[in-house]
Amino acid sequence: MADPEREAVAVLTGPRMGPVLEQVLRPAGLDADRWTLRRVHHRPGAGASAIFDVAALDGQRRVAEVVCVSTTAPPRQVVERGDGPLLVEVENEGLALTAWRHPHDPWLPGLPWATSPEDVGRTAFGSAVAAELTAISYRPTRRAVQRATHDSGVRYLKVLRRGRAATLHGRLRMLLDAGLPVPAPAGEPVRDVVVLHELPGAPLAGAVRDDGATALRPEHVLALLEALPAAAGQLPPRPSWTDRVLDYGHAAAVALPEEQERAERLAAAIDDARRATDPGPAVPVHGDLYEANLLVDPAGRGPFGPLTGLLDVDSVGPGHRVDDLACLVAHVAVLPTVSDRYGHAPATAERLLAGFDEVVDPAALRVRCAGVALSLVAGARRSGGPPDRARRRLEIAERFLARAGESPKG
């Protein structure tokens, strides 16, 4: 039986995307000369998107363009509005695709504003001087983050899908009132973009790389999570990474077709173990707690030790503490697959794991570490770095699951 998601990824990563890129560029009078695939984002059950860097010709002049292509149908309001040459719907190798020139992502109406130095300078800083913009992240159809630097300070611009900025703005205010070190909004949302003040500290990954983040103790992380207000438990729930482990097992199999049976067998085993272990009571959770979403200052002595910032709070809501803890441990454990500079990471993961064992069921913790590690396999395949990165993450997931039966209370 054909696998639609596997076929979609194969089309997006295949050699015959040139005609699609041409159709996107043609209305602007541009011709695609050369192109390279930068990245594929595959969301199990929700489609796949690809980002292409295109060397285009404007007459005799060469220009750099970024073109995005997605298997997801465009938002209804965009189709109804008829956004003309900014959006192309095309079929390629039997696959229906939506394509656009960055920054005109039809799901992210505020991205053109957030990528305009003049507009950001004028609106976010109240100045006629343009801001200097740096792209921090971009997931086509989903979200983007820009860093804006100006003489008067630094802002972060979180670009969201239509109608979601007010929700995030309110969530940040709730967490700030509870004493959490989350970014403070700089005014009201602008065009579905939340403008945020900068926080002190640097991402935890740097501290792990430098000395294993020795200043961070498990109790600091637990104190941060304990500070999440009870009201967060009334927000809409979201499934954890391990709740969707079968989907991520399938995504891993798509990314590593030579390991399809192994990945899907592991996902089924994790799912069985998830159901057989105790996740503990429902409590407010962060929902995506990993090293990029934690800022630290090793010299910090605040209520959460060296932790100075908690980022990306879109997923805050009811859940199980064990899933937040597993997310952090698993992400730290896979850092050596990103770079060999993270030699301290395995010891850091073990130190955190031992501390977290004191507050949640150790077997459940390791099962969920396995689920998170498996969820990271697919993204590793096409994000550069060591060629065996994806397979090494699969091995890490297997080891976590094997250790679930050997845990201190297992």
CA-nearest of 96, 3, 12 to 45 is 3
Q: Give the tokens for residue 103.
A: 């920054």
> Please, what is the Cα angle at 295 between 293 and 296, to 5 degrees?
145
Starting at the earlier edge strand, list the strands of the sheet with 87-92: 31-43, 47-58, 61-70, 95-101, 87-92
pLDDT at residue 84, as a whole number: 52
The maximal CA–CA distance of the chain, rounded, in angstroms, is 70
Phi-psi region of 287 (alpha: psi -120 to 50; beta: other; left: phi over 0): left
CATH superfamily of 202-404: Aminoglycoside phosphotransferase (APH), C-terminal lobe (3.90.1200.10)
pLDDT at residue 1, as a whole number: 40
Enter the CATH code of domain 111-197. Answer: 3.30.200
d(CA 151, CA 123): 14
DSSP 240-279: -TGGGHHHHHHHHHHH-GGGHHHHHHHHHHHHHHHHHS--
- Written as tens digits, the pLDDT of the chain (410 aa) is 457 778 888 899 888 899 999 999 998 899 999 999 999 888 777 788 999 999 999 988 999 999 999 999 888 766 444 455 678 888 888 899 999 999 999 999 999 999 999 999 999 999 999 999 999 999 999 999 999 999 999 999 999 999 999 999 999 999 999 999 999 999 999 999 999 999 999 999 999 999 999 999 999 999 999 999 999 999 999 999 999 999 999 999 988 989 999 999 999 999 999 999 999 999 999 999 999 999 999 888 889 999 999 999 999 999 999 999 999 999 999 999 999 999 999 999 999 999 999 999 999 999 999 999 999 998 886 655 556 999 999 999 999 999 998 756 54
Over its C-alpha atoms, the chain yields an Rg (Å, rounded) of 22
pLDDT at residue 407, as a whole number: 56
Q: Give the tokens for residue 180.
A: 């959490």
The structural domains of the chain, with segments of one domain joined by +, span: 4-101, 111-197, 202-404
